[in-house]
Amino acid sequence: MASNIGMMDSAYFVGRNELLAWINSRLQLNLSRIEEAASGAVHVQLMDMIYPGVVPMHKVNFDAKTEYDYIQNYKVLQEVFNKLKIDKHIEVNKLVKARPLDNLEFLQWMKRYCDSVNGGLMNENYNPVERRAKGGKERNTKASLKHSKSLQPNNSVNSGSCDADSSTLSRSLSAKQRSNGAAFGANSSSEIQALTQEVSDLRLSVDQLEKERDFYFAKLRDIEVLCQTPELENIPITLAVKKILYAADDKESALEEAQEIVAESLDTIEQTKSSSDDQ
């Protein structure tokens, strides 16, 4: 199962258009941009499609509009991963920002994983529209029942006492608001300005880091293409480079193994040279 694949795996070179076409056909959606999947609902339903009965669809919010709602969907996805023992870290803080590259990489992983289950065959009996509607109906029903219970009167509470307590609380809050109002007005403007500047600086930093990541990723891709050249792909130095490129994790052994390949090649050259000199 492809729960852990290296960044140079072919899965990460699937294009946006191919991904969108795959999602739209599988789930009967009409997404036009990768970032439209940032809510996490698409990912959860893909898991529902390949693992019937595992996903609690009533917890999925397909109308999510805020980062808070997005996070709740990713919590459902993480619960599903845990239940299925899928070892995949979900970078929720990045995905909910709806940045195209972050969401592209995660969707590329999702496609690779789904393709690895049952050979990528689609569940012919799966009705994505019906599943979304059923999940939403169940969620709304549970929310309505919870709200109704919270509105039921509690006969053990004296209504007169509640009115008195409410009046006292109201006067107390008003006095506190008046005392804090002047101080808040004086400080809020400068605080907002400082926070705005901090957010601006962070955005610039993130943009710079993303550009740097894309720059080095493109270079790695060029190296990989070069290593796949038929005339070069089987020579020792190419094998050593590919050993590092395709390492699935941060193990130091990848570098050590690459160095061993190069060392063996050099030994062979030395032995060949010695034999030639002796002759």
Spell out the domain ranges in the chain.
Answer: 10-145, 225-278
Q: What is the pLDDT of residues 218-261, one digit of tens each?
A: 788 888 888 888 888 889 899 888 888 877 655 557 788 888 88
Q: What's the pLDDT at 127?
A: 93
Helix, strand, coil percent values for the chain (each to nearest 5) = 75, 0, 25
Q: How far from the centroid of its chain's Cα atoms is residue 197's Cα?
A: 28
For 128, the enclosing helix (H) or strand (E) is helix 128-151
In angstroms, the CA 22 to CA 18 distance is 6
Q: What's the pLDDT at 24?
A: 96
Q: What's the pLDDT at 165?
A: 58
Mention the CATH class of domain 10-145: mainly alpha
Low pLDDT (below 70) residues in the chain: 1-11, 120, 135-186, 248-252, 279
Q: What's the pLDDT at 174?
A: 61
Q: What's the pLDDT at 172?
A: 60
